[in-house]
Amino acid sequence: QITLKESGPTLVKPTQTLTLTCTFSGFSLSTSGVGVGWIRQPPGKALEWLALIYWNDHKRYSPSLKSRLTITKDTSKNQVVLTMTNMDPLDTATYYCAHDSVDSSVWFDPWGQGALVTVSS
Partner 1 sequence: QSVLTQPPSASGTPGQRVTISCSGSSSNIGSNYVYWYQQFPGTAPKLLIYKNNQRPSGVPDRFSGSKSGTSASLAISGLRSEDEADYYCAAWDDSLSGRWVFGGGTKLTVL
Are 97 and 80 in contact, with CB atoms under 8 Å apart? yes
2 binds partner 1 (CB under 8 A): no
5 binds partner 1 (CB under 8 A): no
Q: For partner 1, which stretch binds (CB under 8 A), given 15-23, 67-75, 76-84, 105-113?
A: 105-113
Among 60, 79, 83, 102, binds partner 1 (CB under 8 A): 60
How many whole angstroms separate alpha carbon 55 and alpha carbon 80?
11
Catalog residues that contact partner 1 under the rule CB under 8 A.
Answer: 37, 39, 46-49, 52, 60, 62-63, 96, 105-114
